[in-house]
């Protein structure tokens, strides 16, 4: 999937998923186990992780969990 997405597109995906559950960047980063400064770079399209698929799966699991909890 890494080859298919640009850093900007990946950042848009992260922002969309995070805002869909009304969570701020810091808390979202903490829940994912990512440093807040690194998460900010990801969401702003300034960095693309090497293991994009793993982070995407973590985001999906987190968002699904929060939706079930009534986030």
Is 1:53 a contact under the CB 8 Å cutoff?
yes
What CATH homologous superfamily does 7-66 map to? Answer: lambda repressor-like DNA-binding domains (1.10.260.40)
Is 2:50 a contact under the CB 8 Å cutoff?
yes
Contacts of 56 (CB under 8 A, 6+ apart): 1, 13
Q: How do residues 24-60 score in pLDDT, each as one tens digit?
A: 999 999 999 999 999 999 999 999 988 888 899 999 9
Write down the domain spans for the chain: 7-66
Q: How do residues 54-67 score in pLDDT, each as one tens digit?
A: 899 999 999 999 99
pTM recorded for the entire structure: 0.84
């Amino acid at each position: 999937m890494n080859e298919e997405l640009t850093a900007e597109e990946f950042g848009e995906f992260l922002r969309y998923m995070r805002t869909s559950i009304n969570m701020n960047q810091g808390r979202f980063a903490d829940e994912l186990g990512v440093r807040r400064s690194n998460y900010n770079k990801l969401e702003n399209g300034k960095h693309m992780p090497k293991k994009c698929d793993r982070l995407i799966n973590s985001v999906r699991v987190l968002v699904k969990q929060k939706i079930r909890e009534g986030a």
